[in-house]
Amino acid sequence: MSAVQVKNSLESAVELGSVVNDFSITVGTANGSGSQTSNITLLRALFKMGIPVSGKNLFPSNIQGLPTWYTIRVSKDGFLARREEQEIVVAMNPDSFSQDLADVLPGGVFLYADDIKIPINRDDIVVYPMPVNQLVKGADAPSSLKNYVANMVYVGILAQLLGIDYDKIYQALNFHFKGKQKPIDLNFGVVQAAADWAGKNLEKQDPYRVEAMDKTRELIMSDGNTAAALGSIYGGVNFAAWYPITPATSLVEALEEYVAMLRKDPETGKNTYAIIQAEDELAAIGMAIGAGWSGLRAMTSTSGPGLSLMTEYAGLAYYSEVPVVVWDIQRVGPSTGLPTRTSQGDISMVYFLGHGDTQNVILLPGSVNECFEFGWQSFDLAEKLQWPIYVLSDLDIGMNQWMAKPFEYPDQPMDRGKVLWEADLEELSGQWARYKDVDGDGIPYRTVPGNQHPASAWFGRGTGHDENAVYTEDAGEYERNMARLSRKFDTARNLVPKPVIDNMEDADVGIIAFGSTEPAVQEARHHLAKAGLKTDFLRLRAIPFTDEVTEFIYAHEKSYVVEMNRNGQLHQLLSLEYASVCAKLTSIAHLDGLPMTASWIENRIMQEEDKK
């Protein structure tokens, strides 16, 4: 193929190459076809060019065959939320070809593998066919790898068309293949061949290009699950039990990878940790709670269906007061729902997880860096409060690569909470009681197995107990104990991370959100402000709600609560807590399995504002 058939009667409204570092690319492939390496290579190369960039894998629950997409946003201004609108679409999969074609914005670019013989019925876009088979045939790849490297063709062609730096592509491949020369050369060879072909055969007709910037030099790229695992390691995790479930699996996989490197005793080479793959989530949480009870920094990670299996143990840990950290990487429910799609739909369940009167402490990381920070802080909190700490991340933060600040070493020494060892008991002449509120903060003292003092032992139980942990059904004892637990929840209010508040001068309304929606909210605020609506923004980072949340709600006539679920779960929890002023809160909730976009938030808020 020499001449390129460009179906194009485009009135060149935009100058060639005039849109720099500000567009979205989506690649449509078949699941399991090995496109991940290509996509992440593009993402990393752009990142290394100093351009703010984000990448999101929009994949089905399937190992091989179903359509899957990867969307990259390049934004010189640093707006990195997913966009609905796609300037550049790469179609590698006949099954999604028609949809992919329809998704290109007018004036946008459509690249496709030229063995797909589906008519192209649009004349408002630039079309570039890619001779994928021909280029792969030329590559020096074993036949088993041909399909795999086929995806490198679009990397090379995009690099040529957009001006992506080949050195950076090489760096990305070098990192991906951990310096192994053979696969690096094979893949880079295809990239180069494709780029050469494009240079000779494609005439650039579109306005999009990239240009090196200096906006990522201080940054790293990581996913939230890796960050959570590393944070947990720096938090001194001793014990993790888990059961595989997307999107939580990669958290413990990362833990296994890094803990072996960071947590061997330097002298003996022995392990200061243990990780067990349990038979199910009932056992995973049971093991973690057993370990927490016996004085270990213990954790588990799961997603919605796993959490529901953990409920009975969650109630036991709340009532018997056992420290443990539970990561919930949220995906779309109910039931198996959309297991590979992102959501913020577990917040109500987790808040009440248990039975009888339970109220749980929840941390809400909003970035890769917060996954790291909450990774270690959650252990301090769990041990200080002697309770489970639930950390709610989601698939988008957890499994996608994000630009992040380098991880920072914990700025606080470990806080192991109120644990009495032999010497402490000696000093107390053995006088202590497991569930006695000595300090008035609702937090009692505890001992852990192995303590050799004859007065150290106590009997943990999920049944009614007095201050000495002895069985009782006494009405007064029961109520006093439950009141203490409430007091402890109030103590937690002063210990959990405070919200991040970002105000505009003379703002008209407030926005409350949490977790992975932050980039979309920030972009929406930018656009709303341009349109004349100024907003203050509170990004919630924990439950129970701190004073700052109360003040924010009272200070605003109206606040929108933005979240990725159907029912407006955070809005419901805020309405319970702030019942007397809940009319100030308006729910803006939406869940379709895809990461939140700024335009959806803007539109919904403008609709609401128009009602006024």
Partner 1 sequence: MADQNTKTRGKVNLVGLTKGDYRGKPTTLCQGCGHNSISSQIIAASYELDLKPESIVKFSGIGCSSKSPAYFLGRSFGFNGLHGRMPSLATGAMFGNHHLEAIGVSGDGDTASIGMGQFKHIIRRNLPFVYVVENNGVYGLTKGQFSATAESGLTLKGHGTNMYMPVDIAWEAVVGNATFVARSFAGDPKQVKELLKAALSHQGIAILDIISPCVTFNNTDESMHSYAWGRNHEVALHELSYVPPMEDIIVDYAEGEMIDVTMHDGSTVVLKKLEHDYDPTSRSGAIALLEEANRKNWLITGLIYIDTEQPSLFDIYNLTDVPLNRLKEHQMRPPPESIDQVNALMF
Interacting positions 234-263 with partner 1 (CB under 8 A):
234-236, 238-239, 241, 258, 262-263
Window 548 to 577, contacts with partner 1 (CB under 8 A): none
Positive or negative torsion for Cα 42, 46, 49, 54: negative
Smallest CA-to-CA distance from 541 within 549, 530, 533 is with: 549
Per-residue tokens: 319: 């009532």
Output the CA torsion 134→138→144→150 (10° steps): -50
Contact 378, 235 (CB under 8 A): yes
Nearer to partner 1, 283 or 520 (CB): 283
**Per CB under 8 A, 288 contacts partner 1:** yes
**Per CB under 8 A, 170 contacts partner 1:** no
Q: Which amino acid is at 431?
A: Q
**Per CB under 8 A, 489 contacts partner 1:** no
What is the x/- site pattern for partner 1, positions 439-478, by CB under 8 A? --------xxxxxxxx-xxxxxxxx------xx-------
**Per CB under 8 A, 161 contacts partner 1:** no
Nearer to partner 1, 145 or 219 (CB): 219
Instruction: Find the helix or strand (DSSP H, E) in which 277 lies.
Output: strand 274-277
The distance of closest approach from Cβ of residue 286 to partner 1 in the complex, given in angstroms and rounded to an integer, is 3
The distance of closest approach from Cβ of residue 130 to partner 1 in the complex, given in angstroms and rounded to an integer, is 27
**Per CB under 8 A, 387 contacts partner 1:** no
Nearer to partner 1, 271 or 336 (CB): 271
* Selected binder of partner 1 within 28, 55, 67, 290 (CB under 8 A): 290
Window 310 to 369, contacts with partner 1 (CB under 8 A): 312-313, 316, 320
Nearer to partner 1, 121 or 412 (CB): 412
Give the three-state DSSP class for 364: coil
How far is it between the farthest Cα atoms of the chain?
Answer: 92
Per-residue tokens: 354: 């248990």
C-alpha distances out from residue 357 to 318, 351, 354, 443, 608, Å: 10, 11, 8, 18, 36
What is the x/- site pattern for partner 1, positions 59-98, by CB under 8 A? ----------------------------------------
**Per CB under 8 A, 270 contacts partner 1:** yes
Per-residue tokens: 574: 């805020």
Positive or negative torsion for Cα 78, 81, 83, 89: positive
**Per CB under 8 A, 283 contacts partner 1:** yes
Size (the chain), residues: 612
**Per CB under 8 A, 108 contacts partner 1:** no
The distance of closest approach from Cβ of residue 221 to partner 1 in the complex, given in angstroms and rounded to an integer, is 4
Smallest CA-to-CA distance from 195 within 243, 236, 135 is with: 135
**Per CB under 8 A, 272 contacts partner 1:** yes
Contact 356, 315 (CB under 8 A): yes
Per-residue tokens: 173: 């491949």
**Per CB under 8 A, 284 contacts partner 1:** yes
Nearer to partner 1, 90 or 287 (CB): 287
Instruction: Classify each residue of 580-609 as buried b or exposed e, where b means 16 or more C-beta atoms within 10 Å of its C-beta.
Output: eeeebbbbbbbbebbbbbbbbbbebbeeeb
Choose the binding region for partner 1 from 49-57, 58-66, 87-95, 289-297 (rule: CB under 8 A).
Answer: 289-297
Nearer to partner 1, 59 or 407 (CB): 407
CA distance 181 to 437: 62
Choose the binding region for partner 1 from 135-143, 184-192, 402-410, 503-511 (rule: CB under 8 A).
Answer: 402-410
**Per CB under 8 A, 292 contacts partner 1:** yes
Contact 511, 500 (CB under 8 A): no
* Selected binder of partner 1 within 101, 190, 287, 561 (CB under 8 A): 287
